[in-house]
Amino acid sequence: MDGVGTKWWPYKHKGSVNEVLIISLLFLPLAGGVFGMLFKNTSYSIGGIGLSFAASLLVIINSIEFNTAIQWLPDYSLGIKLDSTAAILICLVTLISLLVHTFSLEYMREDDGKHRYFAKLGLFTFSMIGLLLADHLILLFVFWELVGLTSYLLIGFWYKKDGIPASARLSFMVNRIADVALLAGILMINNSGSLNISELSGTWLFLPSILVAIGAFGKSAQLPFSGWLTKAMVGPTPVSALIHAATMVAAGVYLLFRVAPFMHESTLIIVALTGTFTALYGGLCALFQHDIKKVLAYSTISQLGYMVMGIGVGAGSASIFHLFTHAFFKAGLFLGAGAIIHYLHQVTKADAQDMRNMGGLKKALPWTYSTFLVCALALTGIPFFSGFMSKEGIIIAGWEWAEQIGAWAYIVPDVGLITAFLTALYVGRMVLLVFYSENRLEEKIVAFSENLSLKVPLIVLALGSFWFVFDWNPFAHESRLSGYWSSTPSHSSDSISLIVMILSTLLAISGLVLAYSFFKPGSNYEQSFSKLEVGKFKLAFNGFYLVALYQSIGRGFSRFSQFTFAVDQMVVDGFIHFVGVGSVVISKVIALIDRFMVDGPVNLCGHISAFVGKRVAGLSSRDIQTQLAWLLAGVILILSWILFF
């Protein structure tokens, strides 16, 4: 990758300068956040992430590649590598992070803990960049855990509110359990050679490869781990945009993309099926939510499902493309939702995330409306928007993959198409409920100034959702960026791509039409859609009770811990007490024996001699003459005994 723009960065071949560039790229967001918290000034955070983004642009423009290793343990080095894939994704992360920082300036303006908030955002950005720079799987795991930590801290950001601490813990625990699998998988591979991604070779056995895949499923909220992502929605909304939509949850997809060439083939089929059903699951659940953030969360789960499906069917390049486009339009949707919530918080006391309290917001929030609409169309997969291009790539690859695998495998592209229809349906429903029809609040809609720090990120993300950012041809399912992460452009047969494109466009449009017929302003359905929790849709409303399942597993676990503690108290310690009490009893018995049987005869002798002594004592008298006489008598007695016997 010999660069074009050496004039921008004259030090292309001087390693040390590149090192400085990459170190600042990595550490500036963290340093900005920490200084921002220490000096209570948000401009440090913005400056840090801004400079980091600038550095990542320099890396891209100059095609800087970088490779080094740190000797972390004796005789054990961890590789760090900046290749073009990492570089473009770092650019994406820092850009979205910068936009979210900007948006948060307004969103968190009134919050007491905003400096703490920006510090955590900085820590997150640092960890995410680190994850992308890591070449070694252990180093990747280090940052993997750190992004999990920041996710936990930010979900629990408003820790005083009811339910939030429990949600944060649940999210972390679900991730942690998947991480156990990931770590075990990595360590199994550790025995058979280097863990540097660039030096991996051969094919892994089934067990380690499925364990690594499970780790990725956890982070990317695939079934059966999907529930944590909906719980994560209690965090501040810009955080949802950055961490729980655009970047961190995509880390699982990124990991799968990197290791897919070494995966066991059965694992890849499991990966494809998991992604497929997760996509369907997310789409179904998103349709039956009241909470706008939950709709978006389930939508994220569904879109991540597409990406994982893409990895499984061997279309890693298309998956990363979808990761890229999704980051823009989903971050745009979340930030849009954030603007809506921010607005409603100022107008009403009612639940600001509940779509039943929205409606007619088009007039109040014109900028939010138009950008939201663009991003929503991109999510739907309508031609001329980015989502169409990337999603087509995955479904087409799925179709071609199914042709090779066998008839049953068509379930993968078919479900992909069905999900495309569901996507259009829930997106249509959401947009209609939120922006169209009448205001359902008691309070009147008032004009709201969408200031620059809200507006600019929304506009940038909406612009990024158009086709031309990725390719001039709106029907291409490759991107001009694809060269960054894939050296071999995929060649798909034109007939299949034509069929898929027509099918999915038709499905998307019919989904939108159907949504309109249900949720058009003034329709009956709109009045009755407030009963999802109890009606026949409660299964989907509750996300098929995945969270309830986790909670009951957690309760069972906790009950089991009570049991082991009882064992510890009664059995283990009980045995010790038994031994203790037993030895006290034995020693008491020995004491009794000692007193009566050993001491008894001794005392008896004593008593006898005391008795005799007393009797004999009477014989003696006080005057010395008598005593002498007795003495003499005694001596004679003894002498005569000696002499005569």
Partner 1 sequence: MQNTLTYIFLFPLLIALVMLFIPAERWKVFRRLSFAAVAIQLVLSVILMINFDQSLVPESWEGAFQFVEKANWINMSLGSIGTISIQYYLGVDGISMPLVALSSFVLLIGVISSWNIEEKAKGYHILYLVLSSSIIGCFIALDFFLFYLCFEFMLLPMFFLIGIWGGSRRSYASIKFFLYTLLGSLFILVVMIGLYLSVVDGDSSTFSMVKMLDGAYASDTVLDPGSPQLIFGYSARVLAFIFLIIGFGIKLPAVPVHTWLPDAHVEAPTPISVVLAGLLLKVGAYGLLRIAYGIFPDVAIDFSGFVAIIGVISILYGGMNALAQRDLKRMVAYSSVSHMGFVLVGLGSITSVGFSGSLFHMISHGLISPALFLIAGVIYDRTGNRQMENFSGLAAKMPVYTFFMAVFFFAGLGLPGLSGFVGELMVLMGAFGSSQFSLWIGILSTLGIAVSAAYFLWTIQRMFYGKYFVRESAWESSMFDLTAREKLMLIPLTILVIAMGIYPRLVLDYSNETINFFIQQFSIGQP
Q: Give the bridge partners for 71, in sequence order.
A: 77
Residue 282 CB, nearest distance to partner 1 (Å)?
25
Q: Quick one: 14 or 161, whose CB is closer to partner 1? A: 161
Of 90-98, 149-157, 266-274, 635-643, the segment contacting partner 1 by CB under 8 A is 149-157
Helix (H, G, I), strand (E, B) or coil at 643: helix
Q: Which one of residues 17, 57, 61, 164 is an interface residue with partner 1 (CB under 8 A)?
A: 164
For residues 343 and 339, give the distance between their C-alpha atoms in angstroms, rounded to a whole number. 6
Of 170-178, 196-204, 397-405, 486-494, the segment contacting partner 1 by CB under 8 A is 170-178
Distance of CA 260 to the CA centre of its chain: 21
User: Tokens 């597409």 map to which residue?
Assistant: 306
Q: Quick one: 111 or 145, whose CB is closer to partner 1? A: 145
146 binds partner 1 (CB under 8 A): yes
Residue 559 CB, nearest distance to partner 1 (Å)?
9
Residue 348 CB, nearest distance to partner 1 (Å)?
24
Tokens of 290: 């009241």
Helix (H, G, I), strand (E, B) or coil at 176: helix
User: What is the footprint of partner 1 within residues 55-94 (CB under 8 A)?
Assistant: 71-76
Helix (H, G, I), strand (E, B) or coil at 29: helix
Q: Which one of residues 190, 490, 505, 551 is an interface residue with partner 1 (CB under 8 A)?
A: 190
Of 156-164, 269-277, 325-333, 376-384, the segment contacting partner 1 by CB under 8 A is 156-164
Q: Which one of residues 60, 134, 183, 255 is an interface residue with partner 1 (CB under 8 A)?
A: 183
Q: Which one of residues 35, 44, 141, 257 is an interface residue with partner 1 (CB under 8 A)?
A: 141
Nearest to 388 by CA among 463, 479, 298, 308: 479
Q: Sign of the CA dihedral 463, 28, 93, 336?
A: negative
User: Tokens 């006391």 map to which residue?
Assistant: 349
Q: How far is CA 608 from CA 330, 395, 497, 597, 603, in A?
A: 105, 111, 119, 17, 8
Of 164-172, 305-313, 445-453, 586-594, the segment contacting partner 1 by CB under 8 A is 164-172
Nearest to 319 by CA among 265, 260, 267: 260
Of 54-62, 185-193, 242-250, 262-270, the segment contacting partner 1 by CB under 8 A is 185-193
Number of residues lying near partner 1 (CB under 8 A): 47
Q: Quick one: 217 or 426, whose CB is closer to partner 1? A: 217
Nearest to 236 by CA among 156, 165, 178: 156
Residue 55 CB, nearest distance to partner 1 (Å)?
22
143 binds partner 1 (CB under 8 A): yes
Contact 497, 396 (CB under 8 A): yes
User: What is the footprint of partner 1 within residues 522-581 (CB under 8 A)?
Assistant: 557-558, 560-562, 564-565, 568, 572-573, 576, 580
Q: How far is CA 592 from CA 578, 583, 585, 607, in A?
A: 21, 14, 11, 19
Residue 181 CB, nearest distance to partner 1 (Å)?
8
For residues 180 and 194, give the distance between their C-alpha atoms in angstroms, rounded to a whole number. 20
Q: How far is CA 283 from CA 89, 240, 252, 287, 336, in A?
A: 26, 18, 20, 7, 20
Which H or E element spans position 294?
Answer: helix 292-312
Helix (H, G, I), strand (E, B) or coil at 395: helix
Give Cβ neighbours of residue 433 (< 8 Å, ≥ 6 apart): 355, 358, 359, 519, 526, 529
Of 41-49, 159-167, 339-347, 492-500, the segment contacting partner 1 by CB under 8 A is 159-167
Residue 126 CB, nearest distance to partner 1 (Å)?
11
For residues 190 and 166, give the distance between their C-alpha atoms in angstroms, rounded to a whole number. 35
Residue 177 CB, nearest distance to partner 1 (Å)?
5
173 binds partner 1 (CB under 8 A): yes
Q: Quick one: 195 or 546, whose CB is closer to partner 1? A: 195
Q: Which one of residues 64, 87, 137, 168 is an interface residue with partner 1 (CB under 8 A)?
A: 168
Residue 535 CB, nearest distance to partner 1 (Å)?
33
Residue 262 CB, nearest distance to partner 1 (Å)?
18
Q: Quick one: 188 or 418, whose CB is closer to partner 1? A: 188
Residue 558 CB, nearest distance to partner 1 (Å)?
7
Helix (H, G, I), strand (E, B) or coil at 573: helix
Residue 125 sits at the vertex; the CA angle it makes with 121 and 130, to the nearest 5 degrees, is 145
Q: Quick one: 119 or 270, whose CB is closer to partner 1? A: 119
Q: Which spans of this chain sit near partner 1 (rule: CB under 8 A)?
A: 71-76, 138, 141-143, 145-146, 149, 152, 156, 159-160, 162, 164-166, 168-169, 172-173, 176-177, 179-180, 183-184, 187-188, 190-191, 557-558, 560-562, 564-565, 568, 572-573, 576, 580
